[in-house]
Amino acid sequence: MGFLTAFLIISFISELIAMFLSLMHGNNMIVYHVYAPVSLWLVGLYYQESITSFRKYKIGHLIGMMGLLVAILNVRFFQNLSAFNSNFILFFGLCIIGMCLYSFIYIINNEERKLTEIRLFWVSLIFLIFWCSTYLIFALVDILVLTAEPKGLTVVYTLLWLVNLLQYAGLGVLFFIPEPKIKLLHG
């Protein structure tokens, strides 16, 4: 749970800094260029801690290093620090979705308990719902921008805010469920 705790703390701090920069300077995109690869690395380390094969091959570190490289290349060649880092967000989400799906296979093949008793299952489900919803919302934003529907954009951005809130609340709730009820898989 240490990496999830760090993920939640860094997310909270990043959102505070982003809000401050948005209010003071009108652009907070640099925060997300830094936050995204760090949070990808932390989530990768959580899965590395939770899945035997990830731990054996240090997959969390590999994903984190690859994410850092992709983030640097994205800023250098495609999207500067003042632009929305959509290329990296696509990479980020695909990595998380891949880890979630792999964790489901891992749980099915290695665990005798009910899915609902396994913390890794819940974490993966929360991340999977978050990233699938985020991709859907980004697609809606593109459609609404093309059709010039500003009222629709407000609704969609509110949905994005709610999806983020649900993800962080869901992960936070997992800290309050007693360990005997939900345990991490350790292979």
153 within 8 A of 138, measured Cβ to Cβ: no
Write down the pLDDT at residue 54: 97
Share of the chain above pLDDT 90, in %: 79
Domain borders along the chain are 2-176
**In the structure encoding, which two tokens stand for residue 9, read together?**
């703390």
Write down the pLDDT at residue 182: 53
* Residue 135: φ, ψ to 5°: -65, -40
Point out which residues pair with 37 in neighbouring strands: none
Write down the pLDDT at residue 66: 98
Render pLDDT for 11-67 as a digit per residue (tens, 0 to 9).
999 999 999 999 999 999 999 999 999 999 999 999 999 999 999 999 999 999 999
User: pLDDT averaged over the chain?
Assistant: 92
